[in-house]
Structure 1
């Protein structure tokens, strides 16, 4: 499988050389964003990335069946690509954390709303029109639609006049962008470093939590501990994805 050109990330591992296992890792926001983005991968995308033969269970067989299915058996309007190459929509997939070359999620489009295009003349030259005309005008104003050209339920004219949508006041947007980087993309904030366990459990890191972890692992010989910095690129991303579907010791398996 051809590798994709991606920006490599790094992660610092704490390795118990005697037990030959990774105790935990120190990871940046971008690494955690990548790990969390695995949750948003459709099964079809995972099969495509890893290959049918690498999948545990029968998912690879399902994927192969869709590949071989003749188009004459597919419903009109349905597309095999929707199953074989599904779109990935993930808030965690920022440009830096997309090690697997997944495209970033599309920017949400602002919705447009329309009201009745009928010009109301129930108040003209200082005089009100008939009461029935006023009621109909008021009724027209109560309807809106997302579909341009929908007929107004009150007067049956087309609803083509766009509303002017006033955005609400920002609530912490600047803080989120400062924490997440210049673009504010991804899922977690970048104000702290994160602890990643061998089974990919992720928590914010602190000096106290690191000491607690060492006690949890009952480390007696500190000289056996070794720090190891590893680079994460496309190939390592695939290994992590594959191991996460099969193992509880992902970091040890791929390091």
Structure 2
């Protein structure tokens, strides 16, 4: 029998909109888990769902990975890393009452029993029978993750109000008058209470709607369908990022990536780009990024949906609700699974894994104070690490404005110009260098716009 979560909702009868829902820890954990999902996982789940989500250029990126010849990749595992990216918070997501990714195979971890992992710093593998580089024995001793089965991110008895745009509000210390005023409710007589039961399908609808709508609870609970596509309104406007968020531009020559843009002079848009495998590696790595990391870069209202509202709510949430600072950090500064980080241009880190009492954990606070952290830390030893990139090199690619990626082809480039109705005589070449600031700008544009290259490299940022 399918699991369900019961919710109490306050609804405005006149507008047929959800004002807020009252929720316990089970549903709150499900909503918060959205921030830990890699973008590639969200695209995959949307495709399996009845109404696939279309966010920016991410579907094109995902399709480009599917269509690229495996001979262009360093290994088949690289394709799996991108199409089925792992979640660093997977151990917590697996204990949720409702799991939208319930068909995914759990990640397995193997250590070397010969080396007694608990005594010295060693390695682990994602696959059995990998050779341990320290002793030459097979790593075939499976290790489990340590989890608290009571709840994932918030305390077991936590209760919060969740508004239609996914703002989390404490019911304590909030007067009904101020709550209704802030939510625009002027007449209590127009409201009604509903008891609702939601399952995995509704959670999937909520995830999709939260990316493209400001009213995802209404879309999910009352209209029973997600708004699967971003509005085209303002999609071609420039995207603004707070410079304090993106940090300093990387200026070292070895870190900067060179890209040749083919620009339409009359329209001042990027038709396509020609670039090496380093640029495409970076683009592909977007699929491995957790949604919370993207939200962190987009707190200026660039998003069409309201995931940024959820992110800010976690920032402001009283510590009495979250289980620990570690859980809060997993949501606000989500990390990549070890071995999945491509370079450091985007500034995202890999999670650290610690071996303690026969189990793995990412929570360093569980390590006894008299035990050095490094003595418990273990690292992946597989040769499939993405640090060197997903693609073989040297290689050249054509990348369209909406991030369709193909091995470089003059015929493909001419077809792009034809679709854009741009004569090749109306084009010019511009070479740009991309550091950290530009890479984050491109990430934001890829998520929020279907003209990623134009927004990232040509358009002037909108003023806020």
Is contact 2:70–2:76 with CA below 8 Å preserved after alignment? Answer: no
* 1:81-120 mapped onto 2 (5 Å cutoff): 81-90=80-89, 92-93=92-93, 94-101=95-102, 112-114=117-119
Equivalent residue number for residue 192 of structure 2 = 226
Residue by residue over 1:17-44, the C-alpha shift from the partner in whole angstroms, topping out at 9 and shown as x without a partner, is: 1232211110110101000111111111
Larger radius of gyration: 1
Equivalent residue number for residue 239 of structure 1 = 205
* 1:184-223 mapped onto 2 (5 Å cutoff): 184-206=150-172, 208-223=174-189
Equivalent residue number for residue 70 of structure 1 = 69
**Distance in 1 separating the partners of 2:196 and 2:26:** 14
Is contact 2:40–2:83 with CA below 8 Å preserved after alignment? Answer: yes
CA distance change for structure 1 residues 149 and 235 in 2, over 3 Å: closer, same or farther? closer
Structure ranking higher on relative contact order (CA contacts 8 Å, 6+ apart):
1
2:122 pairs, out of 134, 137, 146, with 146
TM-score, scaled relative to structure 1: 0.64
**Distance in 2 separating the partners of 1:105 and 1:206:** 38
Is contact 2:30–2:96 with CA below 8 Å preserved after alignment? Answer: no
TM-score, scaled relative to structure 2: 0.37
User: Matched residue of 2:82: which SS?
Assistant: helix
CA distance change for structure 1 residues 66 and 6 in 2, over 3 Å: closer, same or farther? farther
Equivalent residue number for residue 167 of structure 1 = none
Task: State how many pairs are aligned.
Answer: 194
**Distance in 1 separating the partners of 2:9 and 2:169:** 15
2:16 pairs, out of 14, 20, 39, with 20
CA distance change for structure 1 residues 192 and 216 in 2, over 3 Å: closer, same or farther? same
User: Matched residue of 1:227: which SS?
Assistant: strand
Equivalent residue number for residue 6 of structure 2 = 10
CA RMSD of aligned residues (A): 3.3
User: Matched residue of 1:51: which SS?
Assistant: helix
Shift of 1:208: 3.6
Is contact 1:11–1:229 with CA below 8 Å preserved after alignment? Answer: yes
Gaps of 5+ in 1: 115-143, 152-176, 178-182
**Distance in 1 separating the partners of 2:152 and 2:106:** 11
Gaps of 5+ in 2: 124-131, 136-147, 222-464
Shift of 1:63: 0.7
